[in-house]
Amino acid sequence: MSQTNLNTKGISKDERNLTYWVYSKIKEMMLHYQIIPGQRLVFIELAQRLGVSRTPVNNALSILANEGFLDFVPDQGYRVHEITLDEAESLYEIREMMELGAIGKAIRKSTLEKLEKLEKQKTEYEKAVVQRVSRGRFTLDQEFHASIIKMSENLYLADYFREIFQRTFLRHSIEGFRSGRAQEVVLEHNKIFQAIKLKDVERAKDLIKSHIHRGKEYIFSTIFK
């Protein structure tokens, strides 16, 4: 999210900059699972942890709540939002529309340089598979798919895709995930990459659709069991 999108009307530039910094740090803590879904956030503790006053923390939490990452509970404050089944269904639907809609143009505009960057993202995920399940692995998966969308040269679509992806994985727990799925993802990424390299649009679409559905089943079977 860009700094210009933050709703900080009526405060000074310095305060906006500090609010954005706090906002980014809280998102970073969510990413690294230092703040987890369902956790209550305490203003004073966050302010002390980040070395700032309560005002930018309050502003940042309000923005995160407006974006759907936090819930405001009267008399309790903010809690990290836990994704619902309906939300997850909608987000996966949007994700599928984005990826299938972009793949044809991505392949038409593919170049050797773009393919090398995509292969690098694929390899980064493969390296992470040997590690335990973490939010970092979800980020690497995100970036492999974002790199495909970015190949289409649409100025905004990759950023919108990242937002949709994060609205899913930042709002669910990572406990209970089996390690075997990551190995399956590696194989699926490889097949998608080869289809893109061969400029086979229809096969790439079929592989991406299957990959998204298998990932959805895996996520749903764990967090909504």
Q: What is the 3-state secondary structure (H, E, C) of the chain?
A: CCHHHCCCCCCCHHHHHHHHHHHHHHHHHHHCCCCCCCCEECHHHHHHHHCCCHHHHHHHHHHHHHCCCEEEECCCEEEECCCCHHHHHHHHHHHHHHHHHHHHHHHHCCCHHHHHHHHHHHHHHHHHCCCCCCHHHHHHHHHHHHHHHHCCCCCCHHHHHHHHHHHHHCCCCCCCCCCHHHHHHHHHHHHHHHHHHCCCHHHHHHHHHHHHHHHHHHHHHHHCC
CATH 1.10.10.10 fits 3-80, yes or no: yes
CATH of domain 85-223: 1.20.120.530
pTM: 0.86
pLDDT of residue 39: 95
Regions of the chain where pLDDT drops below 70: 1-13, 131-134, 176, 179
pLDDT value, residue 104: 98
Q: Where are the domains of the chain?
A: 3-80, 85-223
Query: For position 132, what pLDDT does the model report?
Result: 66
